[in-house]
Chain A
Amino acid sequence: MTPAGMAALFAVGLLIVVVAFVVLATYNAVVALRLRIDKAWANIDVALKQRFDQLPNLVEAVRGVMHWEQQVLTDVATARAAYSPAAAIPEQAATSAATSAAVRSLFAVVERYPEVRSAANVMALQEEIERLEGLIADRRELYNDQVYRHNTRIAQVPAVLVAGLFGWGPRPFFEASEADRVRPETSLEAGS
């Protein structure tokens, strides 16, 4: 082979190496993205499960005193009962939002009962559930951001070619419903 031929072969070889690297790196990056989404979802699921376990304790702790607030307690119990780890992500998002709204309503009502609010176990439970609510909100944000990065990536070149080849589609967001954005209706009048 002539030196010119060897140089041409070297150039083509280097070009192939660059293209192969970009394809492989893109494939690995999308796989890593999908795994990160799965992990982010698993972390939300852990927090949802913890909240699911804590809610009955809170309802039990306040039920004795809040005879006149059965509707709020029923709302919390209903929302909790709707939790299903096997459901699709958008359904779980709706359930989670409804639970958060019910819990916020319960906390708002608890504020009107000083004897309940000052009970040590209620305070501890309220603190723990507020922590879990914050955790769920943070992890939902992280999950959605990860999904956004994934969906954006697989819609762009060169990942769009790899995604088409492997049948990778966009992932669903853990979206907050309108109910989640509505502030709970509360009255300042005691017992209302």
Chain B
Amino acid sequence: MDPQLLVIAVGGVVGGVALLARGFGSYREAARITDTSTSRIASIAVGEVLVSGVVEPAEVTLVSPLQSAICVFYRSRIEAGDDERSTVFREEAAVGFRVRDDSGELRVFPRGARFDVPPRFDEGTGALGDSPAGLRLRRGAAYGPGEDREAQIAALLTVHPAGSGLPGEDANRGRFGSGLVGSASRARHYKEARIEPGDVVTVMGRALPFDQLSDPAAADVLDPGSPSADDPEIAADLAFARAAGTLMDPEDAWGNAAIPGFGIGRPVREPDLDEAAVDPPLATADDAARYQRTFAIGPDALILAAAPDAPLTIAIGLPSVAAGRAQRQFFVGLLGAVVAIASAMALAVMLGDGITR
């Protein structure tokens, strides 16, 4: 009995059953989308709803790690190796956004959502280890400008010099650690799925009044969290910055914002006031109205958020497109069942041969 064939057969059974299990989930998702009518945003009521519309940014946006695109959701991954790929970087993040249809707009809080977004960027390094076209690693902040037009223009016009991110970076190295990106020693594969402002999305979840959302700040962000101090790459970067004398104390770097409680809750001490500071000018009426619209959500305003009894699904495309994707995954699952059965039969033949010999 060939052990390699045996492994392939066992893998076929396990993989096929796993595909089938995933296909079952997709079948339910497809049924959930196709069986729910699309509500007009202006007339939605509390409860489970399906809306479809164009994404508009809310207070902030994200900058995607691999293509530096302004977005409200990304899922990025870098894999290294030719035959045996290992994930060297993986990050997923989302911020709250609005969905607009022809009748109105609705705020979506993405915490706990399931994102059905196919990759927009799916490329590998070339034969000589050269970076694929379209790879534009993020070199600045992970958060981008919000809806503020002036901030968007300023961000667009800002020139980011190559290697201006972390100390010690060069033009071909991103924030993903020493030599991980752009090195010719190992082939890399880059994959990034995103939802950008202007994309059409289908959102299915529970509509509820904003004041019933228990923790709006937490519900508004799906963040991988602060980088761990145990991360060897971060530790190396910190050591490098410390040695170069560029590592600043939090108070030097952030000023009063470094005071615990300054952002949320109550500061633990009086802030240091700058005598030379001048009062900022008051916002114009137009600006005030825009800020009010951006940052203030009425307590009775309906929003979409994940609930224990109604999961939040955010899929790119119209409902029919999202359901089509889920149905295709179900058929792949059925194919997995066929593979599992075929593999089981092959396994039986092999074991039978082994026993009879």
Contacts and interface: CB of A to CB of B under 8 A. Distances in A.
Nearest to B43: A138
A14 B48 CA distance: 33
Contacts of B86: none
B34 interface: yes
A6 B348 contact: yes
Size category of the binding interface on chain B: 20 to 34
Contact of A149 (B28, B34, B39, B47): B34
B43 A153 contact: no
B349 A32 contact: no
A36 B36 contact: yes
Contacts of A46: 45
Interface residues of A, number: 34
Given A11-B344, A36-B36, A149-B37, A3 B45 contact: no
A46 B347 CA distance: 61
A77 B339 CA distance: 69
Interface in B185-222: none
A18 B35 contact: no
A142 B341 contact: no
Interface string A80-122: 0000000000000000000000000000000000000000000
Given A4-B352, A21-B24, A25-B31, A10 B39 contact: no
B345 A32 contact: no
B20 interface: yes
A18 B351 contact: no
Interface in A27-85: 29, 32-33, 36, 39-40, 43, 46
A32 B341 contact: no
Contacts of B24: 21, 25
A142 B348 contact: no
A145 B34 CA distance: 11
B73 interface: no
7 nearest CB pairs, A to B: A7-B348, A138-B43, A3-B351, A145-B37, A3-B348, A43-B45, A11-B341
Given A3-B349, A17-B20, A142-B40, 15 more contacts: A4-B345, A10-B344, A14-B20, A14-B341, A18-B20, A21-B24, A29-B35, A139-B45, A142-B43, A145-B37, A145-B38, A146-B36, A146-B37, A149-B35, A150-B35
22 contacts: A2-B348, A3-B349, A3-B351, A4-B348, A7-B341, A7-B344, A10-B341, A21-B27, A25-B28, A29-B32, A32-B32, A39-B45, A138-B43, A139-B45, A141-B40, A142-B43, A145-B37, A145-B38, A146-B36, A146-B37, A149-B37, A150-B35
Interface of B: 13, 17, 20, 24, 27-28, 31-32, 34-40, 42-43, 45, 47-48, 103, 334, 337, 340-341, 344-345, 347-349, 351-352, 355
